[in-house]
Structure 1
Amino acid sequence: MSAQEDLDDVGEFAALLRALKERTDRSYGSLARRLAMNTSTLHRYCAGDAVPLDFAPVERFAALCGATAEERLELHRRWLLAVAARKRPRTATAVEEAAPAEEEAGAPAPDPAPDPDPLPRRPWYRHRRVAVGLAAACALLATLGSLSALPDGRRPAADGARTAGPATSGTTEAKAPDRSGTSPTPSDSPTTKRPSATPKSKKEPSPAPSARTTTPAPPSGKNSAVPLTWSADSQAWNLGCGHDYVIAKPPQQVPPPPAPQDAGTWAATQGAVHGGETIVELSVQGRTDTAVVLNALRVRVVGRTAPAPGNAYAMDQGCGGAVTPRSFDVNLDKDRPIARAVAGNDTGVPIPAVRMPYRVSATDPEVLLVTARTVTCDCRWYLELDWSSQGRAGTVRIDDAGRPFRTSGIKGLPRYMYDTTARRWGPYS
Structure 2
Amino acid sequence: MSAQEDMDDVGEFAALLRALKERTDRSYGSLARRLAMNTSTLHRYCAGEAVPVDFAPVERFAALCGATPEERLELHRRWLLALAARRRPRTASVPEDEPDTAADPPPLPRRPWYRRRRVAVGLAAACALLATLGSLSALPDGRRPAADRARTAGPAASGTTEAMAPDRSGTSPTPSDSPTTRQPSASATPKKKPSPAPSSDRTTAPPHGGRKPSVPLTWSVNSQVWKLGCGHDYVVAKPPRQVPPPPAPQDAGVWAATQGAVHGGETLVELSVQGRTDTAVVLNALRVRVVGRTAPAPGNAYAMDQGCGGAVTPRSFDVNLDKDRPIAHAVAGSDTGVPIPAVRMPYRVSAEDPEVLLVTARTVTCDCRWYLELDWSSQGREGTVRVDDAGRPFRTSGIKGLPRYTYDTLARQWAPYS
Normalising by structure 2, we get a TM-score of 0.64
Which of 282, 288, 307 is matched with 1:298 structurally? Answer: 288
The residue aligned with 2:359 is 370
Which of 280, 286, 307 is matched with 2:269 structurally? Answer: 280
Within 5 Å, give how 1:15-414 maps onto structure 2.
16-22=19-25, 27-33=30-36, 37-45=37-45, 57-68=57-68, 96-97=109-110, 124-127=112-115, 163-167=145-149, 179-180=161-162, 182=164, 191=169, 209-214=180-185, 224-287=213-276, 288-301=278-291, 303-321=292-310, 323=312, 327-334=316-323, 336-341=324-329, 343-344=331-332, 353-356=342-345, 358-362=346-350, 366-414=355-403
Listed one character per residue, the Cα deviations across residues 143-187 of structure 1 (whole Å, up to 9, x for unaligned) are x79x979xxxxx79xx999534455677999999884474577xx
SS of residue paired to 2:145: helix
One-letter amino acid of the counterpart of residue 60, structure 2:
R
One-letter amino acid of the counterpart of residue 145, structure 2:
T
> What CA distance in whole angstroms lies between the structure 2 residues aligned with 1:235 and 1:29?
30
> What CA distance in whole angstroms lies between the structure 2 residues aligned with 1:308 and 1:71?
55
SS of residue paired to 1:267: helix
> What CA distance in whole angstroms lies between the structure 1 residues aligned with 2:379 and 2:129?
29
The residue aligned with 1:426 is 415
Where structure 1 has 5 or more consecutive residues not aligned to the other structure, the ranges are: 88-92, 99-123, 150-154, 195-206
Where structure 2 has 5 or more consecutive residues not aligned to the other structure, the ranges are: 89-105, 173-177, 190-205
> What CA distance in whole angstroms lies between the structure 1 residues aligned with 2:121 and 2:334?
48
**Are the aligned partners of 2:165 and 2:188 in contact in 1 as well (CA < 8 Å)?**
no
> What CA distance in whole angstroms lies between the structure 2 residues aligned with 1:141 and 1:350?
49
Aligned-pair CA distance for 1:397? 0.6
The verdict on how the C-alpha distance between 1:67 and 1:133 changes in structure 2, with shifts beyond 3 A counting, is same
Q: How many residues align?
A: 371
> What CA distance in whole angstroms lies between the structure 1 residues aligned with 2:150 and 2:76?
58
> What CA distance in whole angstroms lies between the structure 2 residues aligned with 1:229 and 1:53?
38
One-letter amino acid of the counterpart of residue 110, structure 2:
E
Listed one character per residue, the Cα deviations across residues 349-369 of structure 1 (whole Å, up to 9, x for unaligned) are 98655545x242327654433
SS of residue paired to 1:97: coil
> What CA distance in whole angstroms lies between the structure 2 residues aligned with 1:282 and 1:68?
33
> What CA distance in whole angstroms lies between the structure 2 residues aligned with 1:54 and 1:332?
42
> What CA distance in whole angstroms lies between the structure 1 residues aligned with 2:107 and 2:222?
49
